[in-house]
């Protein structure tokens, strides 16, 4: 069982991104009693789609662990969910569309846009959190959470989170060679489903008509959705080389660590503000106890 952040109120959380990290955080917040809305951003494309709520946008029935997803096309669906939180809401509505609906308790940028200029989120919500490269708690968010391999989940209280170094984390002692990146921008077509056993040099799809081959043997852990327009130099697919230990659904160790750190940061921020009654504080989190994760 997970104790809610505050049984008396509904926390309204917006997560920018529909990838597996954003989804892991959404699951943890939903279990803690929040009404969570995930806002889609097409860059970068989502590849680990069985670990994410992304495919809800295309009408697919989607669950991540015990939480189901539901597409929200209109603001009225979100307002109804605030009165009666239910499934994870996933929308194409952007932040500018969502801001006028209701005061936001928590705003989390989980898009992991490693090489883009990150926006200043401060003052857009009671608490703003930036994940990964490009965030500083003194410059563009209230709390910055580190996602770099080796420091996953550590909250950066001072300075900036680490810049992207281009080094892929290891999975079964395999690094960047388990990925295939787009060589050019174009339309991606693939008939292969995530979880399929594949072998090196098997054609897994075509980018603007050019065949894309599996880089190694293993299970298909992630792949861009068929029919997507993709930019150059982004991940198209990922192979899990770990045999019977391969994972392509649910929440993996990295996602869970980042989600736990994010939720802990929310509760710690609330506790600090509760110690200073004269300062503005997110009342939604008053008296909260850390959920059992």
SS (H, E, C) 20-86: HHHHHHHHHHHHCCEEEEEECCCCCCCCCHHHCCHHHHHCCCCEECCEEEEECCCHHHHHHHHHCCC
Global confidence as pTM = 0.87
> Can you say whether the dihedral through the CA atoms of 246, 250, 255, 261 is positive or negative?
negative
- pLDDT at position 288 over 50: no
Strands (E), 137-261: 143-145, 155-156, 179-181, 186-189, 197-198, 203-207, 210-213, 218-223, 229-230, 235-240
**Nearest 5°: CA angle at 163, between 134 and 242?**
115
- Is there a cis peptide before residue 44, judged by omega within 30 degrees of 0? yes
Average pLDDT over residues 82-111: 93
Secondary structure (3-state) at 120: coil
**What pLDDT sits at residue 21?**
97
Give backbone dihedrals phi and psi of 255, rounded to 5 degrees, phi first. -60, -40
Q: Are 118 and 135 in contact (CB under 8 A)?
A: yes
Average pLDDT over residues 160-185: 84
Report residue 293 as tokens: 């994760």
- pLDDT at position 166 over 80: no
User: What CA–CA distances, in Å, run from 119 to 43, 111, 113?
Assistant: 15, 12, 11
**DSSP string over 274-288:** HT-TTS---GGGTT-
- pLDDT at position 278 over 80: no
56-69: pLDDT as tens digits? 999 999 999 999 99
**What pLDDT sits at residue 175?**
82
How high does pLDDT run on average in the chain? 87
| Of 59, 45, 60, 51, the residue nearest 195 (C-alpha) | 51
**What pLDDT sits at residue 113?**
86
**What pLDDT sits at residue 157?**
65
- pLDDT at position 103 over 70: yes
Average pLDDT over residues 256-265: 93
Percentage of the chain lying above the pLDDT 70 cut: 88
**What pLDDT sits at residue 293?**
34
**What pLDDT sits at residue 155?**
75
Average pLDDT over residues 252-279: 79
Kindly give, in sequence order, each residue whose CB lies less than 8 Å from that of residue 172, ignoring residues fewer than 6 positions away.
240, 241, 242, 245
**What pLDDT sits at residue 287?**
35
Secondary structure (3-state) at 237: strand
Q: Fold for domain 176-241?
A: OB fold (Dihydrolipoamide Acetyltransferase, E2P) (2.40.50)
């Amino acid at each position: 069982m997970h104790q809610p952040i505050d049984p008396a109120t509904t926390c309204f959380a917006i997560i920018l991104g529909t990838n597996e990290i954003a989804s892991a955080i959404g699951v943890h917040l939903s279990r803690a009693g929040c009404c969570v809305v995930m806002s889609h951003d097409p860059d970068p494309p989502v590849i680990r789609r069985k670990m994410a709520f992304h495919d809800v946008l295309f009408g697919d029935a989607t669950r991540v662990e015990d939480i189901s997803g539901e597409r929200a096309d209109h603001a009225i669906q979100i307002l109804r969910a605030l009165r009666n939180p239910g499934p994870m809401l996933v929308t194409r509505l952007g932040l500018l569309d969502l801001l006028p609906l209701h005061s936001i308790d928590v705003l989390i940028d989980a898009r992991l846009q490693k090489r883009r200029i990150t926006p200043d989120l401060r003052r857009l919500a009671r608490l703003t959190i930036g994940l990964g490269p490009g965030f500083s708690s003194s410059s563009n968010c209230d709390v910055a959470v580190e996602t770099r391999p080796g420091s996953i989940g550590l909250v950066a209280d001072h300075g900036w989170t680490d810049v992207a170094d281009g080094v892929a984390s290891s999975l079964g002692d395999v690094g960047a060679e388990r990925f295939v990146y787009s060589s050019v921008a174009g339309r991606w077509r693939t008939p292969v489903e995530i979880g399929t056993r594949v072998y090196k040099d098997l054609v897994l799809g075509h980018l603007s008509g050019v065949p894309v081959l599996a880089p190694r043997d293993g299970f298909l852990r992630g792949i861009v959705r068929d029919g997507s327009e993709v930019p150059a130099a982004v991940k198209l697919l990922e192979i899990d080389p770990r045999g019977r230990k391969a994972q392509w659904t649910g929440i993996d160790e990295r996602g869970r660590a980042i989600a736990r750190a994010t939720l802990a940061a929310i509760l710690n921020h609330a506790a600090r503000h509760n110690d200073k009654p004269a300062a503005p504080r997110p009342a939604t989190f008053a008296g909260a106890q850390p959920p059992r994760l």
